[in-house]
Structure 1
Amino acid sequence: MVFNPTTVKEAQDFIEFVNKSPSPFHATFEASEILRAAGFKEIKERDSWNDGLIERKGKYFFTRNGSALVAFEVGGKYNPGNGFSIIGAHTDSPCLKIKPISKKEKSGYLEVGVQLYGGGIWHTWFDRDLSVAGRVLVEQDGNFKHTLVKVDRPILRIPTLAIHLDRTVNEKLIFNKETQLAPILATTAKAQLSGIEASEGVEATTNHHPLLIQVLADEMNVKPHQIRDFELAVYDTQKSVIGGACNEFIFSPRLDNLEMSYCSIIALTQAKDIDNDSNIRIVALFDNEEVGSLTAHGADSNLLPVTLQRLANTHVIDASKSVSLTAFEEAIHKSILVSADMAHAINPNYPDKHEENHRPEMHKGTVIKVNANQRYATTAVTSLVLKELAKKHQIPIQEFVVRNDSSCGSTIGPMLSAKLGLRTVDIGNPQLSMHSIRETGGTEDVKHGIDLLRVGLIYAFYEEFAVLEQKFIVD
């Protein structure tokens, strides 16, 4: 068997992360656990960061909404006004989300009303073993507790219409997203025989099927009437796995963008030589990228700008000394952002969909993404910085440009670059079937992504960028 057991180990660790992260809330929790294990201290946005809380060589993180996270490590030689070394990624993926009033009943079945979140390939959700995961607000002694829930067994399914009733299905698959993409939960007859009824006076148990509420209650070991509200995503219960004849593939949901989120967090925790770093190293994992990022916990919010401003103005050296009034502005122009979001590998069945000189392949390195219309924020300067560092540390990289006759997706890179005036480079690992319920990536690319962000961007970028940056004579 031809495979590298080291890269498979890296991929296997990532797969464990994905399998524990069926929602952005779970992904943020799992990232927090990785950070805690690496010695990072949790802090709160609502608290003061002065009075000695933030120190040189200190490791910290905080979450917002339970679905976004910012982690940072202060360089041993950091002074206010020094730069920020930032990696940005996102925790969300296209999915179906349970409606606020989801109770439906048709033709002898209980159905669950769902909303479409993001730009999913929705036909891939048919005939899959589905369940729900997310956060639930549970009432306890008059208070409401944010509780994660993940129902591991398949309880939902969206059935396709039999070919005998639609002979054209292999020529075209057309369906109504409101009426024909509703998952079935149970038959009406079995639900009635269960004897499960709504809790009197509790809105959640009347807006949703009591059977669904009971499943959630059993999973969390609470009473149905304690469930007051929730944000639940539908997810595929089939586990992420390593596959291919040579163990070269990852078959998985949510590769976009949990793979780059994972690589970013691992890279930060594995970075060395913080003593000699004059920057603050930052990883920001945002929610809601798939729907435009314009939320309180998305990349188009104040999350990163306010964090950078607070860090620039924090007394990490000597509380008795004043910080320059322009420390934040000075820092921005000494900083760089790596926008880490998955990229398109060439599909062998559709090679004409790629520009002839830009056809990323699996196992050949993380991709630098460029777009003349600024759908990606990469510039010649930021691309060169990355190429120079990758070359120095023998890390493979590739480049991607979309065809002129194709539309181009975007990332958090352009909005953050514009909002902050940050030099930015857009990168991502190559994958197939982006936005399908089941995507395909390469096992070696997990390690490539970690290496590029840790060695090429954290070991080299985080620790050497401040020196390399001075060689570029640009405004």
Structure 2
Amino acid sequence: VTRNFSSVIAFAVGGRYLPGNGFSMIGAHTDSPCLRVKPRSKRTKQGCLQVGVECYGGGIWNTWFDRDLTIAGRVMVKTDGRLVHRLVHVSRPLLRIPHLAIHLQRDINDSFGPNKENHLYVHKLRTLRTLFKYYSLHHPALVKVLCSELGVEPEALLDFELCLTDTQPAALGGVYEEFIYSPRLDNLHSCYCALKGLLESCSGDSLAIDPNIRMITLYDNEEVGSESAQGAQSNLTELILSRLAASPSNLTAFQQAAPRSFMISADMAHAVHPNYQSVPGPVIKFNSNQRYATTAVTAAVVREVASRVDVPLQVPPRLGVPVVDIGAPQLSMHSIREMCCTSSVLQSTALFKGFFELFPTVRSSLVVD
């Protein structure tokens, strides 16, 4: 199931599922901090064509300077009288946010914070004549690149949502290739591992005897508050769960299912930084002020699953479903280029697979005095 083509929910129904039984869920988010092209991006200064962008989420914006950037996103086009949703990713470098030379800002290495209105304009250096009215909002050069990539005429282009992205591909790094250097690890790492864990859990015989529904929920817009129609705080989850639980013979099936369910909220965690060791890096996330949903009970469930599948764990709400916050550790979080350990992909996938397969059994062993 998708909403807005940017949030995804996938599920597998256990062979012994009955209305009122629980849901074994893993939630993650699909979006990452980035620079997005403004709805009116056209600007020209000192003979340069500039594309206006705005900050999405809480990025480390100075990491976006002096990088070979391009555009990616979705475009709405009109084809044969139909409105069609198309994805686009231009692979070659198109844009750049150049730093001002150190000779003109001697304190650049002491403190750097760009003015989000004046300094975050990306540059390209060619001019084109106006072809149609859409060019009053965006430079003709930008529109022509999109049309060329999509194979459509400018008149077919209706609207778009575009992000800037680095053209440097992800890579394995370190002496032993033990690290992943990549954009958007937060939180596509969790999305990938959740999906892979769900698929692998369904490849054996365990689904046939599962009394639960296994589900992953991958939401958009977490980086800006999750309050959109496709965000985690929308009614999307409740609608899907209530539809799956619906039964003419059990009108309270959804209400019964909620306390019998469990969700792992999977989002990347801060690894211990070797140069800033006072900043901790938990994987199971706790906070006394309830910034996370983890409790002693939910943490114990995950610890038990992890011990059974031999995955090590580090330790430093609305639906009435018990939740634990967990995530793989990473460095350079919210930078244009992040890093994590290659082992975290295997460990996260194994943990999520084990959770889907073992949660009903672990829950049945939980005794509250």
TM-score by structure 1 length? 0.75
Secondary structure, in 3 states, of the residue corresponding to 2:260? coil
Match of 1:335 in 2: 261
In 2, are the aligned partners of 1:260 and 1:340 still within 8 Å (CA)?
yes
Q: Does 1:439 align with 2:365?
A: no
Q: 1:161 aligns with which of 72, 84, 100?
A: 100
Q: 2:89 aligns with which of 150, 173, 182?
A: 150
Match of 1:253 in 2: 183
Secondary structure, in 3 states, of the residue corresponding to 2:112? coil
In 1, are the aligned partners of 2:194 and 2:352 still within 8 Å (CA)?
yes
Q: Does 1:284 align with 2:217?
A: yes
Q: Does 1:466 align with 2:360?
A: yes
Match of 1:102 in 2: 41
Q: In 2, distance between residues paired with 1:175 and 1:285?
A: 32
Structure 1: tracts of 5 or more residues without a match: 1-61, 315-321, 361-366, 401-416
Match of 1:275 in 2: 208
Secondary structure, in 3 states, of the residue corresponding to 1:281? strand
In 2, are the aligned partners of 1:368 and 1:427 still within 8 Å (CA)?
yes
Q: In 2, distance between residues paired with 1:466 and 1:112?
A: 52
Q: In 2, distance between residues paired with 1:470 and 1:352?
A: 39
Q: 2:315 aligns with which of 391, 399, 408?
A: 399
Post-superposition offset of 1:390: 1.1
Match of 1:235 in 2: 165
Q: In 1, distance between residues paired with 2:368 and 2:37?
A: 50
Post-superposition offset of 1:389: 1.5
Post-superposition offset of 1:257: 0.2
Structure 2: tracts of 5 or more residues without a match: none
Q: In 1, distance between residues paired with 2:153 and 2:18?
A: 53
Match of 1:178 in 2: 117
In 1, are the aligned partners of 2:184 and 2:336 still within 8 Å (CA)?
yes
Q: Does 1:307 align with 2:236?
A: no
Which residue identity lines up with residue 236 of structure 2 in the other structure? L
Q: Does 1:199 align with 2:146?
A: no
Match of 1:223 in 2: 153
Q: In 1, distance between residues paired with 2:199 and 2:16?
A: 19
Q: In 1, distance between residues paired with 2:143 and 2:362?
A: 57
Q: In 2, distance between residues paired with 1:326 and 1:117?
A: 40
Q: In 2, distance between residues paired with 1:472 and 1:389?
A: 12
Q: Identify the structure with the greater helix proportion.
A: 1
Which residue identity lines up with residue 128 of structure 1 in the other structure? R
Q: 1:293 aligns with which of 226, 232, 236?
A: 226
The alignment covers a number of residue pairs equal to 366
In 2, are the aligned partners of 1:199 and 1:206 still within 8 Å (CA)?
no
TM-score by structure 2 length? 0.97
Cα deviation, 1:215-244, whole Å, max 9, x if unaligned, reads 000011111121110011111111010000
Segment drifting more, 370-379 vs 388-397: 388-397
Q: In 2, distance between residues paired with 1:154 and 1:338?
A: 38
Q: In 2, distance between residues paired with 1:264 and 1:442?
A: 17
Cα deviation, 1:121-159, whole Å, max 9, x if unaligned, reads 000000011111111011112221100011111101000
Q: Does 1:386 align with 2:302?
A: yes
Post-superposition offset of 1:474: 4.2
Which residue identity lines up with residue 311 of structure 1 in the other structure? L
Q: In 1, distance between residues paired with 2:4 and 2:249?
A: 31
Match of 2:71 in 1: 132
Match of 2:3 in 1: 64
Match of 2:59 in 1: 120
1:409-448 → structure 2 map (5 Å cutoff): 417=317, 419-448=318-347
In 1, are the aligned partners of 2:54 and 2:120 still within 8 Å (CA)?
no
Q: 1:211 aligns with which of 124, 132, 141?
A: 141
Which residue identity lines up with residue 214 of structure 1 in the other structure? K
Post-superposition offset of 1:182: 0.9
Secondary structure, in 3 states, of the residue corresponding to 1:333? helix
Q: In 1, distance between residues paired with 2:78 and 2:26?
A: 37
Quick one: percent identity of the two aligned structures? 51
Q: In 1, distance between residues paired with 2:177 and 2:121?
A: 35
In 1, are the aligned partners of 2:7 and 2:230 still within 8 Å (CA)?
yes
Q: In 2, distance between residues paired with 1:260 and 1:369?
A: 15
Q: In 2, distance between residues paired with 1:174 and 1:283?
A: 38
Secondary structure, in 3 states, of the residue corresponding to 1:235? strand
Match of 1:13 in 2: none
Q: Structure 1's 388 and 174: CA in aligned 2 closer, same or farther, altered over 3 A?
A: closer
In 2, are the aligned partners of 1:251 and 1:439 still within 8 Å (CA)?
yes
Which residue identity lines up with residue 21 of structure 2 in the other structure? N
Post-superposition offset of 1:383: 0.5
In 2, are the aligned partners of 1:199 and 1:225 still within 8 Å (CA)?
no
Post-superposition offset of 1:347: 0.7
Q: 2:348 aligns with which of 441, 444, 449?
A: 449
1:67-106 → structure 2 map (5 Å cutoff): 67-106=6-45
In 2, are the aligned partners of 1:138 and 1:228 still within 8 Å (CA)?
yes
* Superposition CA RMSD, Å: 1.3
Secondary structure, in 3 states, of the residue corresponding to 1:146? strand
Post-superposition offset of 1:107: 1.0
